[in-house]
């Protein structure tokens, strides 16, 4: 019963506040024109889909804790002159590493367990370390000389990968800055569209030549368009932040909301001042 409960908790998706807020805004805009049953039938699936999208994991470039390159190089060098167990213990003493997986292997060796078996049963939090230990164990069982050479090659591969990750992080930082600027511009543009939508609707009804009424009468507040474009602005900012590791989605969504409201308020003040 406990295992089933834990599994159910892992599969449960928490309710995101932004999904609830946008779903309520959609329901309020629809209830003026449609029945209660229709509003619920549209808002409920919208809430579920939106909540799932907002709870999708964020792309991250964080590097997991790995066995240090210095340890691998020292271990590979010691394998040339020492037994596998002595080479591992000597490399651990010289590296002064605090990784629990390495300490666990060291304790197993001191208890009399062969290195190959200790590596295969090591408890590692990352799959990359577990795979490394299994491969090293197989290589030592096959050839100590070959395992030493392969570990040196693997360290070179990891250094190249780390360099590529650093270059990618720099490019992602530039992309994040551009994304933040475009989010502010997009929010302000959507606010302008929401403010001028009644004017555009009046022009289309009048055939594009004359307006019926004054500017202040034409530029009336349309809650449906306002809520729709406000939701689009906030939601797009939050969702696109999922693909940019250095961008906080909540802060960017709040910035998008503030920019949208301030732009709309500024346009209202300008129209009232001019008219």
Q: Which residues of 12-21 are buried (b: 16+ CB within 10 A; e: fewer)?
A: eeeebebbee
- Same domain, yes or no, for 119 and 81? yes
Residue 4 forms part of a structural domain: yes
Residue 152 forms part of a structural domain: no
- Same domain, yes or no, for 42 and 81? no
pLDDT (tens digit, 9 = 90+) per residue, 28-64? 777 777 788 887 887 788 778 777 777 766 555 555 5
Instruction: Answer whether residue 212 shows pLDDT above 80.
Output: no
* Selected residue with higher pLDDT from 44 and 246: 44
- Same domain, yes or no, for 1 and 87? no
Residue 186 forms part of a structural domain: yes
Lowest mean pLDDT among 109-113, 190-194, 224-228, 252-256: 224-228
- Same domain, yes or no, for 6 and 49? yes
Name, in order, each residue with C-beta under 8 angstroms of 157's C-beta and a sequence gap of 6 or more.
Answer: none
Domain encompassing residue 132: 69-142
Could you give the CA distance from residue 250 to residue 147 in angstroms, rounded to a whole number? 48
Helix 144-205 and helix 223-240: axis angle, to 10°?
A: 170
* Selected residue with higher pLDDT from 57 and 207: 57
Closest CA to 50 of 261, 231, 243: 231
Count of domains forming the chain: 3
pTM of the model: 0.58
- Same domain, yes or no, for 186 and 271? yes
């Amino acid at each position: 019963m406990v295992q089933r409960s834990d599994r159910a908790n892992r599969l449960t998706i928490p309710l995101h506040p932004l999904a609830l807020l946008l779903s309520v805004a959609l329901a309020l805009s629809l209830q003026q024109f449609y029945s209660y049953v229709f509003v619920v039938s549209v808002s409920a699936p919208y809430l579920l889909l939106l909540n799932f999208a907002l709870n999708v994991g964020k792309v991250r470039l964080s590097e997991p804790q790995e066995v240090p390159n210095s340890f691998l190089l020292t271990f590979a060098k010691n394998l040339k002159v020492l037994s596998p167990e002595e080479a591992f213990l000597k490399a651990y003493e010289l590296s002064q590493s605090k990784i629990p997986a390495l300490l666990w292997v060291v304790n197993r060796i001191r208890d009399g367990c062969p290195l190959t078996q200790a590596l295969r049963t090591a408890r590692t939090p990352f799959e990359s370390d577990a795979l490394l230990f299994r491969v090293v164990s197989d290589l030592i069982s096959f050839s100590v000389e070959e395992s030493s050479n392969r570990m040196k090659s693997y360290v070179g591969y990891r250094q190249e990968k780390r360099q590529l990750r650093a270059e990618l992080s720099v490019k992602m930082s530039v992309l994040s800055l551009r994304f933040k600027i475009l989010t502010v511009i997009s929010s302000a543009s959507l606010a302008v569209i929401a403010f001028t939508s009644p004017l555009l609707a009046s022009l289309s009804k009048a055939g594009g030549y004359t307006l019926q009424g004054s500017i202040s009468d034409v530029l009336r507040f349309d809650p449906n368009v306002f809520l729709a474009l406000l939701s689009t602005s906030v939601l797009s900012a939050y969702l696109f932040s999922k693909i940019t590791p250095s961008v906080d989605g909540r802060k960017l969504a709040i910035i998008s909301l503030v920019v949208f409201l301030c732009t709309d308020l500024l346009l209202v003040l300008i129209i009232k001042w001019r008219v």
